[in-house]
Amino acid sequence: MQNRIKDLRTIYDLTQDELAERLEVSRQTIISLEKGRYNPSIMLAYKISKVFMCRIEDVFIFEEEEKNG
């Protein structure tokens, strides 16, 4: 799943460390999220959306996989 965390973090002028501290996660978690290697729990996604004052759907881009028929 793609996300806009890095873009939003830049807009809000937050470092990875600062965002990690606000979310009570490690900086490594933020790095993994930004690189798309880790999909957050719904609770973490909610916390991220609250930090950036937007909806979860504004942070995370869900692309449904095409099914072969």
Residue 69, in any domain of the structure: no
CATH of the domain at 31: 1.10.260.40
Q: How many domains does the chain have?
A: 1
Cα Rg of the chain (Å, integer): 13
Range of the domain at 56: 2-61
Residue 6, in any domain of the structure: yes
Cβ atoms of residues 49 and 59 within 8 Å = yes
pLDDT the model gives residue 44:
98
For residue 52, pLDDT beyond 70: yes
For residue 20, pLDDT beyond 80: yes
Mean per-residue pLDDT of the chain: 92
Q: pTM for the full model?
A: 0.86
Residue 68, in any domain of the structure: no
Mapping DSSP to helix (H, G, I), strand (E, B) and coil, where does residue 60 land?
Answer: strand
Residue 55, in any domain of the structure: yes
For residue 60, pLDDT beyond 60: yes
